[in-house]
Amino acid sequence: MEELLAITPEHVCHWMNELAYGSPVPSDDMRPVHRRSATLEFSKKAISSFMPRINASWDPVTAHGNPTRSDAVNKLIKRVKKFEVRREGVEPIVRLSLEFDEFLNSLSLVRSKWGKGETAYMVSSVLTLQWHIMARIDDMMKLQFANFVPNRQYPSTLLCQMRWSKNIHEERDAPEQIVLGSMDPKMCALLNLAVYIETSTNVSNSEFIYGHPKDGNRVVRRFLGDIITNTAFKNMKTGKLGTHSFRKGAATYASRCGMSKDFVNRRGRWRTRKGVVDVYIDNTQPYPDACTAAALAGPLGPCFYVRKHGIDCVSPTLLVDQIAPTIKQVMGEAVATTLAMLLLWAVMEPSDNYTYELIPDRLKQKIIGAYVNSGGSESLNPIDRVGFFVMGDGSQLNLITIDTQDSATDVNRRGIIAGSSTGGEGSRREFAALHSQYAA
């Protein structure tokens, strides 16, 4: 105890200078070429945890307090940061944010491995859902089937609660969050989740969606490592990418789509400084959450999957017992009904509308057989996709459907130009939603 009390800011500064500069008293022409400021900040926090007066700021007059909480230590770290900005320090090893085109590229590479094992289906689901809810890979591996419930207000969507995460320490930190379908099937979190569950043989053996957390974590990280180092993967920026780049990419993309920092923070469940008022504010905020979720659905926007009028052969029994029996077993009938609609749309969609496979052939033939046996026709897709726009009316979330003559298939054929299409397409959908609302 006496030895710890004898430590002063000068001792801490000399030690940090030795780490960063290689000398306890560096000269003016020396540069911090051995350690980065992030390392010094972590060391500062680690030393602080052992100090007897951990919560007391350093008082230079009485020479009492926590020496790591002193101006001298803080100024030292700030000086190292300034050298890093000028490229006079240690080169950063931080993982870059994934660009949207890189994300689409990675999804295409994962799909190219479909049919070569169940891992590719799992990774497709992990990446699209991770992007959609702004989660870490570790968090995704601990998602349970019980974390998903049907959305009674909008049956074409689901509600999810992320209960295992680094920043979640109490129930208030785990709000209900909406999961939307996307007009772009490749990045549709709901469609990829449905495909993964129905193509997996042992998915019902665990309460976790992606199997044992530790095993799944290793498998996904190894798979992503192979994808990122693949010669077909096109890097848009110089720097290193990793699994954390996907979460950074989702947050960056949502911000570039016009979402406020507060909206992105809520969707990503980042920890914030709490006040007394936070106890009285419900942590579930449907409108900000849905706005960000819609942006993360991609440039083509979010959509509902609805049954066409006059199609009577698409019964609840067909959906939950023959199209999505595994989903029914692990997630219940209501969720199975929602996800089965996506599967039925995917198998009945003409294959020449897309340049990639929407659904594995084996699962496709099984669902088509069940649909035809129930009286359906192979020449007509019984499911429509309807785009919508997110609007708020007081505390009420309104998802306004859009009446448009431009189908998502036509847009898909023309191709998606990330960045240029996001702002204009979003404005077009907003005006179309307002027109639909007033015309109703």
Tell whether the torsion through CA atoms of 293, 297, 298 and 300 is positive or negative: negative
Q: Kindly report the CA angle at 206 between 346 and 269, in degrees rounded to 5?
A: 75
Question: For residue 157, is pLDDT > 60?
Answer: yes
Instruction: Give the pLDDT confidence score for residue 145 in this predicted structure.
Output: 94
Report the percentage of the chain scoring pLDDT > 90: 59
What's the mean pLDDT when you consider all of the chain? Answer: 86
Question: For residue 125, is pLDDT > 50?
Answer: yes
- d(CA 440, CA 435) in angstroms, rounded, equals 9
289-305 mean pLDDT? 95
Question: For residue 40, is pLDDT > 80?
Answer: yes
- d(CA 262, CA 267) in angstroms, rounded, equals 9
Question: For residue 337, is pLDDT > 80?
Answer: yes
Instruction: Give the pLDDT confidence score for residue 128 in this predicted structure.
Output: 96
Q: Kindly report the CA angle at 288 between 287 and 294, in degrees rounded to 5?
A: 85
150: DSSP letter? E
Higher pLDDT, 225 or 321: 321
CB 247, CB 95: distance < 8 Å: no
pLDDT category at 419 given cuts 50, 70, 90 is: very low
What single letter denotes the amino acid at residue 415?
A: G
Phi, psi of 85 (to 5 degrees): -60, -35
Instruction: Give the pLDDT confidence score for residue 422 in this predicted structure.
Output: 47
Q: How far is CA 116 from CA 200, 342, 360, in A?
A: 13, 23, 11
Beta strands in 37-104 (DSSP E): none
Which residue segments constitute the domains of the chain, with CATH numbers given?
Answer: 2-85 (no CATH), 100-300+309-380 (1.10.443.10)
Instruction: Give the pLDDT confidence score for residue 436 in this predicted structure.
Output: 58
CB 389, CB 402: distance < 8 Å: yes
Instruction: Give the pLDDT confidence score for residue 239 in this predicted structure.
Output: 77
- d(CA 397, CA 389) in angstroms, rounded, equals 11
Q: Kindly report, residue by residue over 199-217, the tens digit of the pLDDT.
A: 988 888 889 999 877 777 7
231-248 mean pLDDT? 83
CB 401, CB 235: distance < 8 Å: no
The answer to which of 54-68, 96-110, 221-235, 267-281 has the lowest mean pLDDT is: 267-281
Question: For residue 118, is pLDDT > 90?
Answer: no
Model pTM score: 0.80
Question: For residue 392, is pLDDT > 60?
Answer: yes
Phi, psi of 303 (to 5 degrees): -155, 160
Element (H, E) at 399: strand 396-401
